[in-house]
Amino acid sequence: MNPLEVVATNRAPLFDGSSYVFWSVRIKAYIMSLGFDVWMSIVNGYTLPSQPPTDLDGKRAFESNAKTMNAILCGLSESKFVKVTHCESAQTMWEKLQNFCEGDEKVRNAKVQTHRMLFEILKMQEDENIAAYFLRVDEVINSLKGLGEKLDDKVVVPKFLRSLSLKFDVKVSTIEEMVELDKLIVDKLHGILTPYEMRTNVDSSSKRETSFKASKKGKENEQKSSESLEEDFEDEATHLVRKLERGSGKYKGKLPLKWFNCGKIGHFASKFP
């Protein structure tokens, strides 16, 4: 079973070395669920005292830091666990993992530039549905946000509309005319485009079915017409043969008249190739 499908509420999400941004969001939510002071041990940091604390505030700070360290360690695979075993505070662990997985400031800036470029060149494929495209866009946006970048819906929505495939042109024009884009959020846009795509697909299917039926009917009529012509020809040919056999009319005295194809009277090329 995929470990992401079922996650116990009392167990930290596991980080195996891939998708650090995804894991960091989940572990952050998990640590926050343990308590405000627990998360603040990462934000504010904690210095381990030389002597065990005796006052209440000191004990609480110690416990919060210990809970955070435990949550992080429980969420690491063995290969990542050894990177932070020597750390004495949760803040140090957090920063070390961040630097190890995302690099220093220069590396993070380079990654930001790369993901910005990916965001700018996003384009919906003609055979791609709206749900799959939203997923691709979300992956790039989440990667940027994980690197500390802020992307407001005011930036994402216009970019999304510009990058849709041609089949959405009519709907995009309607949205731009009827809706204030500055107030439109991504989730709302998803709710607008999904039903439109469903209706468009149904209409396209109906048109294809109608076209197929018309084409099939045309072929059937053509076949019937061909069969009718052949029957008429055979009737005329049969009448001709009878005249030849009787030797009447303009064919009188001209028997035997043989068919060039087989040399016999009354044999048709279509039936006796």
pLDDT value for 207: 57
pLDDT > 70? residue 14 = yes
pLDDT value for 89: 92
Gap between the terminal Cα atoms of the chain: 67
Condensed to tens digits (0 to 9), the pLDDT of residues 64-99 reads 999 999 999 999 988 888 889 889 899 999 998 888
Strand, coil or helix: what is 263? Answer: coil
Q: Is residue 152 within 8 Å of 181, Cβ to Cβ?
A: no
How many helices (H) does the chain have, and how many strands (E)? 10, 0
How far is CA 188 from its chain centroid?
A: 18
Angle between helices 56-74 and 90-102 (to 10 degrees): 30
d(CA 273, CA 37): 96
Q: Is residue 65 within 8 Å of 90, Cβ to Cβ?
A: yes
DSSP 250: G
58-90 in b/e burial notation, b at 16+ Cβ within 10 A? Answer: eeebbebbbbbbebbbebbeeebeeebeebebb
Residue ranges covered by each domain of the chain: 20-102, 105-184, 202-273
Lowest mean pLDDT among 12-21, 152-161, 166-175, 186-195: 12-21
Peptide bond into 53 cis (omega under 30): no
CA atoms lying within 13 Å on the CB side of residue 136 = 17
* Global pTM value: 0.52
Lowest mean pLDDT among 3-12, 118-127, 172-181: 3-12
DSSP 12: P
Q: Which residue has the higher pLDDT, 205 or 20?
A: 20
pLDDT value for 216: 61
What CA–CA distances, in Å, run from 88 to 13, 34, 46, 80, 91?
Answer: 21, 19, 9, 16, 9
Ramachandran category for residue 2: left, alpha or beta (phi over 0 → left; psi -120 to 50 → alpha)? beta
pLDDT > 50? residue 46 = yes
pLDDT > 80? residue 254 = no
pLDDT > 60? residue 60 = yes
Condensed to tens digits (0 to 9), the pLDDT of residues 30-44 reads 999 999 999 999 999
pLDDT value for 220: 62
Instruction: Please state the rounded mean pLDDT for residues 235-250.
Output: 56
pLDDT band at 52 (very low <50, low <70, confident <90, very high): confident
pLDDT value for 258: 55
pLDDT > 50? residue 139 = yes
152, exposed or middle or buried, with CB in 10 Å at 0-12, 13-18, 19+?
exposed
